Amino acid sequence: DADVTQTPRNRITKTGKRIMLECSQTKGHDRMYWYRQDPGLGLRLIYYSFDVKDINKGEISDGYSVSRQAQAKFSLSLESAIPNQTALYFCATSDLRGPGANVLTFGAGSRLTVL
Amino acid sequence: QKEVEQDPGPLSVPEGAIVSLNCTYSNSAFQYFMWYRQYSRKGPELLMYTYSSGNKEDGRFTAQVDKSSKYISLFIRDSQPSDSATYLCAMGDSGGYQKVTFGIGTKLQVIP
């Protein structure tokens, strides 16, 4: 099994629908992240969490929300999806502190298309 | 100006060539320098990790960091078609948040 598992891997939805992307990890890492990747824009941080009680906004959090249900689970929600949220979404994890905090382990990605 | 600048390419080379991939950065607080490899439709995976200035070699891959010039490089010797991927540089500081900043990625194609 993968260290970082994302579901669903692919999703097509319509404008205005609520969507949840889920992430679970077996790395035992404290930090978890959600990124989106767009052609020409690279990886952009949406939200990050240091632990269950510590959640922080990233560069582009508008239109998104997250929930850290447990140390190993971090979900991303789009309350009312819009077409410009069409992108490849990645969950990632890392150690809490020290050099390992800079080394991210990524999931395989969730491709979201909003029509 | 972006904190990390990386040429998106694409870069096409013949099999066996030496490939040089580069990034420049502006934040002097960066101390950790990483290279990730991302195959199509996959997540990025860590390829090389370097702390501060200097060189690090791992098989056909060499990472170089020049903090005085704020410039990092990844060299791939004897490039193979299996090296065809997007290479992302990434940099981190040692502050309280220890933020990691990614380059946009360079798409490499190695032609047999």
Whether B95 shows a pLDDT value over 80: the answer reads: no
Least confident of A101-105, B62-66, B106-110: A101-105
Q: Residue A43 and residue B44: Cβ atoms within 8 Å? A: yes
- Check: CB of residue A94 under 8 Å from CB of residue A29: yes
| Bridge partner residues of A115 (DSSP) | none
- Check: CB of residue A92 under 8 Å from CB of residue A45: no
Write the single-letter amino acid at A103: V
State how far the Cα of B46 lies from the Cα of B36, in Å rounded to an integer.
4
For chain A, 115 residues long, the average pLDDT of each consecutive 10-residue run is 92 97 96 94 93 93 96 96 97 85 92 97
**Which token pair is B3?**
């904190």
Residue with the bigger pLDDT between B52 and B6: it is B6
Chain B contacts in chain A segment 1-60 (CB below 8 A): 4, 40-43
**Shortest Cα–Cα distance, A1 to chain B (Å):** 15
Mean pLDDT (whole number) for B34-56:
93
**Shortest Cα–Cα distance, B105 to chain A (Å):** 7
How far is CA A112 from its chain centroid? 12
Whether B26 shows a pLDDT value over 80: the answer reads: yes
Whether B97 shows a pLDDT value over 70: the answer reads: no
Is residue A82 within 8 angstroms of chain B, CB to CB?
Answer: no
Whether B98 shows a pLDDT value over 80: the answer reads: no
Mutate to test the interface with B, among A25, A29, A43 (most CBs of B within 10 A): A43
Please report the pLDDT score of residue A7 as a whole number: 97
Q: Which of A92, A97, A102 sits opposite B32 (nearest CB)?
A: A102
Q: Which of B8, B46, B105 sits opposite A103 (nearest CB)?
A: B46
Whether B112 shows a pLDDT value over 90: the answer reads: yes
